[in-house]
Amino acid sequence: MNLHYLIREPKIKQQQNPVLILLHGYGSNEEDLFTFASDLPEEYYVISVRAPYNLQPYGHAWYAIHFDADENKFSDDNQARASRDIIAGFIDEITNQYPIDKKQVTLIGFSQGAILSYATALSYPEKVARVVALSGYLNEKILTEDFINKDNKHLQFFVSHGSVDQVIPVEWARKTKPFIENLGLPIEYHEYPVGHGVAPQNFYDFKNWLIQTK
C-alpha cells in the first residue's frame, strides 16, 4: 500500500542523509506533526505519513478503536499489525527512493503513531535505529511473535508522556521503561505536567536527544 506523505528535504545535503519519519495520532493527518518539521535538525529528511484507514467525517487512523456496551475502549490489533507491516514496507520504499542512510531511520510517533513506532521498531529492528514515542504506550500484542529473537541491540528510545493525560493514562506509559530495559536497550523517559499533547519542553528535550544520540 502506498502511503501519502509530506516531505521536507534536508537543508544540508550529504551523500546519504538520515531520516525522521513522523507518525500522527488517531483522527489526525500528516499535516499535524509536520508543523514540527522546520524546527527539526537540518541534516534530516523529514517525512510525515498519513495513516491508511480513513475516518468519518475526516481524519485517519493506524487502526480502529471500538467501544463496547460498557464504554470500554479496545483496539483492533489485527489492523494495528497490518499497519505495522505497512510502515515497515514504507521504510523500504522511501529509503530506496531517496538518498537516505538506511542505518539512520528514526520513527517519531504521537499517541497511536507512538504505539505503531514501538511495534515497527521491535518487530523490524533492521529497518529502524531510534524511536521517539510521544504520549503512547507499548502494546505487546502487536509485536511479531519472534521479536525477542531479533537483532535489536542498536535500538534507542526516547519516551515522554503527560502526567495528566486524559486519553492514554500515564501508568500505561510508565510500563514501557522496564519493558525496554529488560530487553537491554537504552531508554530516556520523561513526564511533563500536561495532558495528551507535546509541551514545548518536551519538544526541546527530544530534539536535544536526537542531536546527542546520533
- 49 pairs with which residues across the strands? 5, 23
How many Å is the Cα radius of gyration of the chain? 16
| pLDDT on residue 202 | 95
Displacement of CA 6 from its chain's centroid (Å): 16
Residue 31 and residue 8 in contact, taking contact as beta carbons nearer than 8 Å: no
Most distant CA atoms of the chain, gap in Å = 55
State the pTM of this model: 0.96
Residue by residue, pLDDT tens for the chain (214 residues) are 579 999 999 998 899 999 999 999 999 999 999 998 999 999 999 999 999 999 988 899 999 987 666 666 678 999 999 999 999 999 999 999 999 999 999 999 999 999 999 999 999 999 999 999 999 999 999 999 999 999 999 999 999 999 999 999 999 999 999 999 999 999 999 999 999 999 999 999 999 999 999 7
What are residue 149's phi and psi, to 5 degrees? -90, 0
What domains does the chain contain, in order, with CATH numbers?
5-212 (3.40.50.1820)
